[in-house]
Each structure stands twice: as structure tokens, then as C-alpha cells.
A and B are shown apart, each in its own frame.
Chain A
Amino acid sequence: MANNLSGGFKAYLYRDLLIALRDRGDLSKPLMFFLLVAVMVPLAIAPEASKLSAIAPGLIWILALLATLLSVERLFSEDYADGSLEQLLISPNMLMMPILGKITAHWLVIGLPLTLLSPVIAIWFSLPISAMVPMMLSLALGTAVLSLIGAVGAALTLPRQGGVLLALLVMPLYMPVLIFGSATIQAAVDGLNWLAPLAMLAALLAVAIVLCPLAISAGLRIAKNG
């Protein structure tokens, strides 16, 4: 019986990381999507640096959002299918901790690589160097929020996965993150104070860490009992 609060957290963090690393194909798909769509943008719009850099802040963020959305569906689906979700739900740990562990693993595997890859896209879109650090900070914090909110959607749509329902549920909730994330980059490009929108992202992250696990555990219980 785990007495410490963090017991469930570390256990599920390591577990999910191990599972993700064993199946590297799953890992790389959202990142490939991120890069591929980024390549499509100049092809569809224009290769001029001026045009690209004008839309770069928002576009980088939209691409990151879509890539995260693609990856979030699988957060609970395998566990739901093979019965380990039941194990999770009857374990003596507080449900919050295993859930946060899984989501942290998800962020380490999706959000963090996205953040690290983003300078490549920034260079493709002629984003000024001064905006690089703010961009990466906004992506690091923002993708964490996206993982948390996406997990809520994943938990609520467990019985019937696939299809656009998850996206439909989660997109309206993603919009504040998108607004503040792209505003951070845009402010950095314009030479304005980019710490303010970044602080809002941090606030969103704090709220999400506290509230999302509640909704997620409710959703998981409903899926199991339903």
C-alpha cells in the first residue's frame, strides 16, 4: 500500500514513458505531422519571408495544438482496452497522482519534443531570433496545458473513440491557451512585454493541474461503470 502521495505519480510516469519508448512509431507521428504541415504552409501561401514571418507566431501555435490534439486520444485508450484502467481505478493511490503521472509522461513524449523542434519551424518561417526563447517557453508551458485539457476530452470519449468528437469537445477549451501562446510570440516579435501573456499561460497551467484531474477521474469512472 503506497502511503506517500507521490507513489502513484512516479510509478505511472515511468510506466508510460517505458511504453512510449518501446513503440517509437507512436512517438514520432505527431512530430512528423508538425513538421510536414509546416512544410505545406509556404507551399500553400507564399515563400516570401515577410509573409511567413507575419503569420509565424499564430501558425506555429496552431501546428503545435493540432499535433498535440492528434496524440492525446491514445492517452487512455490502450489501458481502457486491456483492462489496466480498472487496475488504476481500484488502486489505493489517490487517483490524481497516477493521472498526473500519465499526463506528465505524455508531455515529456509529445510536448517537450515539440518545444525542442520548434526552432526549426521558426527558422523556416523567418521568425526573428529574439522571439525564439519566448516561443519555446510558451510552447513548453502551453503544451502542458494542452495535454491536461486533452486528457479530459480523452477520458470523456473513451467508450467511442476515433472521429472528431474529441477535437470538438476540446477545441473550445484550447482557445485561451492558443490566444496567450501566440500572443507571447507576437509580443516578442513586436518588442513588447512577452512576460505578461506567458504569465497567463502559467496561470492556466496552475488551474489546469488542479482542476483537470478531477474531471479526468470522473470521466474514467463513468467509462468504467458505463
Chain B
Amino acid sequence: MYFDSLQQLIWMNGHGIYVWSSFAISAVVMIGLIVKPLRQKQVAMRNIELQIKLQASKQAAKQKEVADAPHS
């Protein structure tokens, strides 16, 4: 360890604010780069689920029609 205490690590001889703000901004952006695609995937999955349900209900309706129609 180059620094003797946690406080020294944060203060870094006056340069701490520069180093830690760089770290913070980088962390925010990089976490964003992970969160964003995960959210996109969730949204995509939800949309596909909805689509499947929609299709299923359409099919059910069609089958009902065929069953209800009088047989010629």
C-alpha cells in the first residue's frame, strides 16, 4: 500500500478530487453500458411475450369461430 491510511487514499495530497471524480464518471458510464443492454433485453422479451399472447388469443378466437359456425 502506498498510502498509510484511508484518509490519505482519498485526499491523495490534494489530487484526490481529480482522481476520484474521474473514477466516479467512468464508473457511472461503464455501469450504464451494462445496465442499458440488460434493460433492452427485458423490454424485448416482454414485447415478444405480449406478441405470443396476442397470437394465442387470435388463434383461440379463430378456433371458436370455426366451432360455432353451423356445419354445412
Direct interface between A and B, CB < 8 A = no
Which A residues have a C-beta under 8 Å from some C-beta of B?
none
